[in-house]
Structures are given as structure tokens and as C-alpha cells.
């Protein structure tokens, strides 16, 4: 070992001092022969990648097009909720319409009762009353108005009016 150490020391001591290497400008060198992959290997690698991508796309398309049972149930539930909401909205609209119609009919009936109550029941001549909403002229007989049975008299009055309008149109 001592001889190898002595040889190493001699080389270090007697080695000439070298100046640092000067940087060589980098030139683009065109290699005529690639050292890596051949053209056929490169094409086969690309082909394998394309095939694997196509398979993964086909698998995801098959997986996404087949709905599960929970997806189907959720779809039915959402459609049922939509129909139930629409039916409830239609029901509310119909109830509002019925309420409005009943209010209007009550108002008309009250106005008609007010008009008929203004008529003197003991008068022997015919009295002419005008309905404010319908703007039609109604001829009232003296014996047709009875304060005790206003609803019955109203039916008779309406029947008389209907008969008069039917006679006039024919």
C-alpha cells in the first residue's frame, strides 16, 4: 500500500498545472443517425397509445350510457315532484277562480236584492229598475215582490226575464 500511496503522491506533485478550460461555443450539430428509437418502434408506440385511448373512451361511454337503478328512481321522483307541483298550482288557480266567481255572484245578488228592496211592494203600476252591472232594464210587477220570500221572487223574476228575452230573440 505504501508503494501505491507514494505513486499517487508523485503524480499529484509532478502534475503540471493546467489552465481552466475555455468555454467552447455551442454549435447545433445535426446527427445523421438517431441513437434512440427507430421509426418503426416510434409508430408502434403511438399505435399502442391510440388503441389504449380508444378503449378507455369506449369504456367510459358504455359506463355513462347505462343508467343505474338509483338514477332511474331519482328521475322518476323528480318527474313526480314536478307533476305534483304543477297539479297543486292548477288546483290553487281553480280555487281562486271559483272564489272570485262566487264573490262576483254574491255581489250581483246583493245588488239585485237592494234594487228590488227599493221597489214599493204595494204599488199597482209597473216599476222599472236598472241593474248597475248588467245595464239591463227589468220590468217589475207589483205582486211579484214579496219581502218575506225574496229568493223565490228572484227566481220568478229571472224566469220572467228569460222568457222575455227568448220571446224578443225569436
Q: CA-CA distance, 159 to 164, in Å (whole number)?
A: 9
Say if residues 39 and 46 touch (Cβ distance below 8 Å): no
What are the Cα distances from residue 66, in Å, to 61, 62, 71, 76? Answer: 9, 6, 10, 16
Q: CA-CA distance, 54 to 52, in Å (whole number)?
A: 5
Say if residues 140 and 129 touch (Cβ distance below 8 Å): yes
**Which of 14-18, 56-60, 67-71, 107-111 shows the lowest per-residue confidence on average (mean pLDDT)?**
14-18
pTM over 0.85: no
What are the Cα distances from residue 121, in Å, to 19, 92, 113, 145? Answer: 141, 44, 13, 6
Q: What is the pLDDT of residues 97-151, one digit of tens each?
A: 999 999 999 999 999 998 888 875 555 444 445 444 444 444 444 444 444 445 5
- The set of residues, in sequence order, having a beta carbon less than 8 Å from that of 159 and lying 6+ positions away, is none
Strands (E), 35-145: 127-130, 137-140
Angle (nearest 5°) at CA 111 between 106 and 112: 95
Residue 144 has a pLDDT of 44
Q: CA-CA distance, 2 to 85, in Å (whole number)?
A: 101
- The set of residues, in sequence order, having a beta carbon less than 8 Å from that of 148 and lying 6+ positions away, is none
Q: What is the pLDDT of residues 9-30, one digit of tens each?
A: 777 776 556 666 666 665 655 5
Amino acid at each position: 500500500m505504501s508503494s501505491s500511496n507514494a505513486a499517487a503522491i508523485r503524480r499529484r506533485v509532478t502534475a503540471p498545472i493546467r489552465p481552466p478550460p475555455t468555454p467552447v461555443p455551442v454549435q447545433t450539430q445535426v446527427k445523421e443517425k438517431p441513437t434512440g428509437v427507430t421509426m418503426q418502434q416510434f409508430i408502434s408506440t403511438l399505435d399502442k397509445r391510440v388503441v389504449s385511448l380508444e378503449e378507455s373512451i369506449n369504456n367510459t361511454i358504455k359506463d355513462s350510457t347505462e343508467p343505474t337503478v338509483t338514477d332511474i328512481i331519482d328521475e322518476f321522483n323528480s318527474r313526480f315532484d314536478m307533476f305534483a307541483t304543477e297539479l297543486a298550482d292548477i288546483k290553487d288557480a281553480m280555487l281562486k277562480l271559483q272564489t272570485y266567481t262566487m264573490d262576483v255572484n254574491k255581489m250581483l245578488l246583493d245588488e239585485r236584492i237592494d234594487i228590488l228592496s227599493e221597489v214599493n211592494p204595494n204599488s199597482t203600476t209597473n216599476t222599472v229598475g236598472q241593474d248597475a252591472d248588467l245595464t239591463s232594464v227589468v220590468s217589475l210587477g207589483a205582486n211579484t215582490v214579496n219581502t218575506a220570500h225574496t229568493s223565490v221572487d228572484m227566481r220568478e223574476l229571472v224566469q220572467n226575464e228569460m222568457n222575455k228575452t227568448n220571446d224578443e230573440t225569436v
